[in-house]
A and B are shown apart, each in its own frame.
Chain A
C-alpha cells in the first residue's frame, strides 16, 4: 500500500510541477466590441470604434459582423520566432492584425451558399514586424450562420507560433498516453469478465475505464480532427454522454463493493438526478459536466464513507483518493481535476478489484483444500478403527463359527468398499448409489450387531444427485445412537419430495432412543453440512431432532 501511496504522491507532484512551470502570458487583451455590418476600413487599427457595442451580438441570419479587440504585446518576440495567435471562435471569419489580413477561416458572409469550411480552433501567424511590444488591434470579420447566439471570441492565446502548435500537441500526446493506459486496463478487465461472467463489478470497472479513455480521446483530439463549428455541439454532446456514464458507473461500482441499506432506491434516485442534470438546458455543457461530476463525487463519498465506517477492506484508501481528488478540484479547477481526479478514483477502484481478486483466489484455494479434506473424510469412514476393527473382529468370529455366513459378510464389506471407491472423487452422485451404499452398510451392521435393520424409501427421484456419504453418515449416526425396539428391529426410512422452491430429503429412524441427551454436533454432522455447503453454497438447510419414535433428519436444498 505504501508503494501505491508513493506513486500517487509522485503523480500529484508532477501535476504541481507542470502548473508552476507555466509561463506568464506575453500579452494583455482588452474588451471586445462589435458592430453588425461590413466595411473594410473597420480592420484599421486607428478606426474610431467608440460607438461600437460591448458584449456578444445575436445574429438571426448569416450576416457579416465585425469584432475589434485591442491587445497589448508586453515583450518583443525573439528572433527568428514569430508570434502567433490561437482563436476559438464560432463562425467563419477573416483575421486582421493592425489592419492587415493575417488569416482566413472559411468564407464569412457566404455560409448560406457554400459548404461549411474552416475549423473552430485555428492558429494564425503574426508577421514579426507587426508584433512588437506595444498596442495592437485584432479585428475579426465573420459570420455565424448555424449558431447565431454563439458570437464572440471563446478563447484567445498569443504566444510564439511554434509554442502554440507544439504545446497543445504535447499536452494532447500526454493525454493520449493517459487514455491508452485506460484502454488497456479496460480491455484487460473486459477479458477477465468474459472469463467469469458472474463478476459484474469487473465489467463495470472495465466500462468506466473505457469511458475515460473515450472521454480523453474526444476532448483532446482537436489537433488532428478538424471540426467545423456547426458540428461542434455533437462533440459536446458525446463528451456529456461519456461523463453521464462515468458519473453513474463509479458510484454504482462503489455501491457494489460497499453495500448499504436501500441501495436500489438510492441508486435510482441518483440516476434520476444525473438524468435531470443531463437534460437540463441542452446547451449548458460546462454546467452539465461540473454538475454531474460533482454529484458523482458526493454520492461516491457518502457510499465510501459508509464503507469505511463499517470497516470494509479497502474503503479507507478509496476514501483518501476521493478526498485527494476534491483537493485537486479546489486547487486547480475543473479541467485538471477531472482527469487527475478520475485517474485517482480509478486507481482506488483498481485497488479494490485487486483486493477482490485476492479474496477470490484465497476462497478458491480454501475450497480446494476443503474438497480434498471431505474426500479424505469419506475415504476414512471405512478405515477408521471403530468401524474397521469392530468389523474385522466380528468377521473373524463369523469365519470361525460359520464360514459360509462369513463369506457373505466379506462380500458385503467388499461391496461397501467398492461403492465408496466409486464415489470418492465426485462431489455429487446419483441418489440411488447413495441408497445402495446405505443398504450395504446395514447388511454389514446386521452381521455385527445382530439387529434387524430395515430400510425403506419413498418417492425417490432416481435422476436426482446428492453429495456422497451424507445419507450414509446420517445412517451411521442412527445406528450408533439407537437401540432396537422390542422386536429387535431398527427401521430407517428415506422420503423425498420436491416443489418449485426446494427439494427435501427426510430421513427417519424408528428406534428406542439410546440416551435422552441432546447429542453434540459430531464430526458426522459437520461432514454433512460441509458437503452441502460445497455443492449448494448457502442454498440448503439441515435439521436434526428427536421424535417420539426415534430421530428425524431433514435436508432441504433450495433452487
Chain B
C-alpha cells in the first residue's frame, strides 16, 4: 500500500506514521508525510497512492479544497481532524472514515480495517462524487446517478439526465462508499436500487434488471438471489 499523511503537527504526524506501521506492517509499500497543502497537491498528481490520511486544518488554510481533489482520486481518503463538526460534511464528500483527535491506535486500526477488508460504510451519508473535468473538480450529486459501470481502473457514472461522467475510483471503492443505496448487481455494474423497475428472468438462467429509465442491465448469476431478496 502507498500511503500519504498530510498533517502539519509534527508530533501527531509521527504518531500516525508509527501507528500505521504498527497496524499495517509489511503491507506498506511506501509511507510519506507532507505538512503543507501545496506540496501535498503536487505529490498527489505525480504519485500513485492507495490511501491518504488528511488533516482538514492545515496552517490555518481550509482543507476542503484539498478534500475535494483527494476524493476525486482513485484512492480512499481518511480524515484525521480536531473538528468533529466537520465529519458530516466530510462524509458527504465521500471520505471512507473520519477519525477525531485525540485518537488512539484502536481507532486508527478500525479505520484501516475499512480499507483492507473493503467493509462498507454503514450509513449512506455520501451526497457527492467529485469528478475531474477539464482540470476542474465538479461535485456530482449522488441522487443524480442512475448506475455506475466499471471500466478497468476507472468507472463511468450514468446520470438521470442521460449524461456520463468518468470517475477515478474503482467500482469496488465506490461500492464501499455508496452502499446500501447502490447495489453491485454484476461485476461491472453498481445500480441505485430505487431506480430498479423490475427483475427479469430470461432463458438460460440469465437475469436482468429493468430500470425506470427503460434501460436493461445484466445481473450476475451468483448475485441474483441476494438482489432479488433486497429488491422485494
Binding site for B on A (CB under 8 A): 385-386, 388-390, 392-398, 447-451, 477, 480-481, 483, 514-515, 519, 522
Contacts and interface: CB of A to CB of B under 8 A. Distances in A.
A449 B9 contact: yes
Contacts of B103: 393
B21 interface: no
Contact of A514 (B10, B15, B59, B101): B59
B14 interface: yes
B104 A397 contact: no
B136 interface: no
B10 A389 contact: no
Contacts of B9: 390, 393-394, 448-449
A483 B11 CA distance: 15
Contacts of B101: 389-390, 392-393
Interface in B1-54: 8-12, 14-15, 35-36, 38
A483 B15 contact: no
Interface residues of B, number: 22
23 contacts: A385-B82, A386-B57, A389-B82, A389-B100, A390-B9, A390-B12, A390-B101, A393-B9, A393-B102, A393-B103, A394-B9, A394-B15, A397-B14, A447-B11, A448-B12, A449-B10, A451-B10, A483-B36, A483-B59, A514-B59, A515-B38, A515-B61, A519-B60
Given A386-B57, A392-B101, A393-B102, A398 B82 contact: no
Looking at chain B's contact residues, the main secondary structure is loop
A448 B61 CA distance: 18
Q: Which of A388, A392, A394 has the most CB of B within 10 A?
A: A394
B12 A385 contact: no
Contact of A389 (B14, B38, B61, B102): B102
B111 to A, nearest CB: 15
Given A386-B57, A397-B15, A522-B60, 15 more contacts: A385-B82, A385-B84, A388-B82, A390-B12, A393-B82, A394-B11, A395-B102, A396-B104, A398-B11, A449-B10, A450-B10, A451-B10, A481-B59, A483-B59, A515-B38
A477 B60 CA distance: 8
B10 A386 contact: no
A514 B57 CA distance: 14
Contacts, number: 64
Q: Which of B35, B84, B102 has the most CB of A within 10 A?
A: B102
Nearest to B100: A389
Contacts of B104: 396
B10 A393 contact: no
Given A392-B101, A392-B102, A481 B60 contact: yes
A348 to B, nearest CB: 54
A483 B39 CA distance: 13
A477 B59 CA distance: 9
B231 interface: no
Contacts of A450: 10-11
A425 B173 CA distance: 54
Contacts of A477: 60
Contacts of A515: 38, 59, 61
B83 interface: yes
A295 B215 CA distance: 93
Contact of B60 (A393, A447, A480): A480
A41 to B, nearest CB: 113
A488 B84 CA distance: 31
A239 to B, nearest CB: 73
